[in-house]
Structure 1
Amino acid sequence: MVQQADCEPTYLKARDIADEIDETPKAVAQHLQRLQNELTGITLEQWGRSKSVTWLVQEETE
């Protein structure tokens, strides 16, 4: 996923990540919220809230 984000903005749904790692979408969203401040070189932004929270992941531009 990170390699794809290096090239272009990527949208990820918390529920899809949760399915992959056997976790709840809410727990995934909480982890991603914490990562927003810890990541360098990558922007992680909460984008939408339909049935599941969508996250925008993209390379930081200077």
Structure 2
Amino acid sequence: MKLSCYEKISSGADLDVKEIQTVIKTLKNILKKGGVVVVSENDTLITTYNLDSYDRRLAFK
């Protein structure tokens, strides 16, 4: 089974150049969007959404 970049990084394994470039691209996209909220429980990803996508005024209509 192939490990994801996150699993490799968290386990201390080395990444090759292509994996590092993929991580850099993903992080640049996150910065461009203003951040990302990650919802997880017990190390299980539930969902993610852009940090600035929530509008409190629309939530209570």
TM-score, normalisation: structure 1 = 0.31
- Greater fraction of residues in strand: 1
- Greater fraction of residues in helix: 2
TM-score, normalisation: structure 2 = 0.31
> More relative contact order in 1 or in 2 (CA 8 Å, sep 6+)?
1
Higher-Rg structure is 2
